[in-house]
Amino acid sequence: MDKSAIIKVLGENNLSSIVELPYNEETLVLRLFYEFDNDEIKAAKAYSNDESEDEENSDEWYEEYFLPYLNDLAVDNVGEIIEEIMDKQNIDSQFVSYEMDEEEHSCNEFIAAFSEKGKLKEIEEILEELEL
């Protein structure tokens, strides 16, 4: 498994602040952030305004429409990037995203784990061992 190639591909695809978390030699665990561009933020606002009867920027508008839209977008995009890495390097990977809040919605935080085929633990177990 080529750790530097994994980190390079992630960095070339809208992911930032990529930090390796110490875990073990067989598994690469990374904390990374998906940065939303202006078009994605505009699309989330347009969707939320179209779908919600609530006032823009209200708590329900954020919690029920805006933040879930952005989270789904980030999860889909990160999932595609990680799937491409898995295919090219013939490895396994799992990831989780953390919930965003109203104050900080310019990016979405993820933890991703990579390992050789058949050697990757469940991401929940890794998170528990890292106390995250």
Q: How far separated are the first and last CA of the chain, in Å rounded?
A: 24
Instruction: Convert the pLDDT of each residue in 35-66 to its tens digit.
Output: 999 999 999 999 999 999 989 889 999 999 99
- What ranges in the chain are assigned the alpha helix state H? 3-11, 38-51, 59-61, 67-89, 123-130
28 exposure class (CB count in 10 Å sphere: 0-12, 13-18, 19+) = buried
Tell whether 112 is covered by a domain: yes
Q: Find the domain containing 24 and state its range.
A: 3-37+76-130
- Domains contained in the chain, number: 1
Helix axes 67-89, 3-11, angle to 10 degrees: 140
Tell whether 108 is covered by a domain: yes
Tell whether 29 is covered by a domain: yes
Tell whether 110 is covered by a domain: yes
Instruction: State the DSSP string of 68-102.
Output: HHHHHHHHHHHHHHHHHHHHHHTEEEEEEEPPP-S
Tell whether 24 is covered by a domain: yes
Instruction: Convert the pLDDT of each residue in 67-101 to its tens digit.
Output: 999 999 999 999 999 999 999 999 999 999 998 87
Confidence band (pLDDT; 50, 70, 90) for 21?
Answer: very high
Query: CATH number, domain at 32?
Result: 3.30.1360
Tell me which DSSP letter residue 12 carries. T
CB 18 within 8 A of CB 10: yes
pTM of the model: 0.91
Tell whether 67 is covered by a domain: no
Tell whether 114 is covered by a domain: yes
